[in-house]
Amino acid sequence: MPFEGMAGPDRDMAETPTIFRARALTKTYRSGEVEVQALRRVDFEARAGEFVVILGPSGSGKSTFLNIVGGLDRPTSGEVWFMDQELTRLNDAGLTRYRRDHVGFVFQFYNLVPSLTARENVRLVTEIARRPMKAEEALAMVGLSERMDHFPAQLSGGEQQRVAIARAIAKNPEVLLCDEPTGALDSATGGAGAGGVDGGQLDDGGDHAGHHAQRGHPGPRASGRALRQRRHRRRGGQRAPQGSGRGELVMRLAPSR
């Protein structure tokens, strides 16, 4: 079922700059006469300093939503804004600049280059980023100091996922978008990977307070109000529940500089 309503900002964040704003966002996939609606008129806001977690079953539109706000895909209708820039009006070159300069991605399937080592995969990003950290520092943050010169085929699935996390945070991005960022990590290594996502290199300038927007499986017509209420109950830096059988999408946004 598609996303139909999502949480808005908390009242105590009202004075914080809005980073993402989506209005009536719809995405429809067509194959012949068959139409599948992945997103249905989604309204969404996320503000600087927020940590947003979206949960939902497979096929509910989480990855589609991430791809659109990350500039990898375009909606069928509706609009998306990043700060004062309307992403839905940018051409391909403009979206490329947006991704390069502002966004760090952790993809569900890692997207590592098999012929490059872990260190070289991270350097692919640091060589084009405006203010990157060292690849070695990013890999150390996710516990891979001893595996930097190994190729993806020589790494476990969890280690490959941690390389993907290191590659994303090494940009020092303003926005970190993660599609199931700890799905392949076990309990022993999950902390290292999650640390890169929820405590990593988005320039905080201080302690991080989490704000989670949780979408479980409330039914096909869940209201934005209900989702906001669930979000308030999960505020205060708590982690999203693990092992629930649902996918997880994480958005972390740096405080305004």
The reported pLDDT for the residue numbered 17 is 87
**Which comes out higher in pLDDT, residue 154 or 233?**
154
Distance CA 53, CA 7 (A): 10
Q: Which domain holds residue 139?
A: 49-71+88-253
Q: Is residue 178 one of the residues assigned to a domain?
A: yes
Q: Looking at residues 78-84, what average pLDDT do you find? A: 96
Within 13 Å and on the Cβ side, how many CA atoms surround 205?
A: 7
Other CB atoms within 10 Å distance of the CB of residue 1: 16
The reported pLDDT for the residue numbered 254 is 63
Lowest mean pLDDT of 4-13, 138-147, 204-213, 246-255, name the range.
204-213
Distance CA 104, CA 251 (A): 10
Q: Is residue 125 one of the residues assigned to a domain?
A: yes
Return the DSSP state at 3. Answer: B
Q: Is residue 209 one of the residues assigned to a domain?
A: yes
Q: Is residue 213 one of the residues assigned to a domain?
A: yes
The reported pLDDT for the residue numbered 250 is 72
Q: What is the pLDDT of residues 156-166, one digit of tens each?
A: 999 999 999 99
Question: What number of helices (H) and strands (E) belong to the chain?
Answer: 7, 8
Answer yes or no: are the C-beta atoms of 170 and 122 closer than 8 Å.
yes
Q: Is residue 140 one of the residues assigned to a domain?
A: yes
Lowest mean pLDDT of 31-35, 57-61, 66-70, 217-221, name the range.
217-221
DSSP strand pairing (103-106 vs 175-179): parallel
**Which comes out higher in pLDDT, residue 225 or 203?**
203
Strand partners, 170: none
pLDDT score of 230 more than 70: no
The number of distinct structural domains making up the chain is: 1
The reported pLDDT for the residue numbered 56 is 83
Q: Is residue 166 one of the residues assigned to a domain?
A: yes
Q: What is the pLDDT of residues 1-10, one digit of tens each?
A: 565 555 454 5
Q: Looking at residues 128-157, what average pLDDT do you find? A: 95
Q: Looking at residues 81-97, what average pLDDT do you find? A: 96
Q: Looking at residues 68-75, what average pLDDT do you find? A: 95
Q: Is residue 33 one of the residues assigned to a domain?
A: no
State the pTM of this model: 0.70
Distance CA 155, CA 159 (A): 6
The CATH number given to whatever domain includes residue 132 is 3.40.50.300
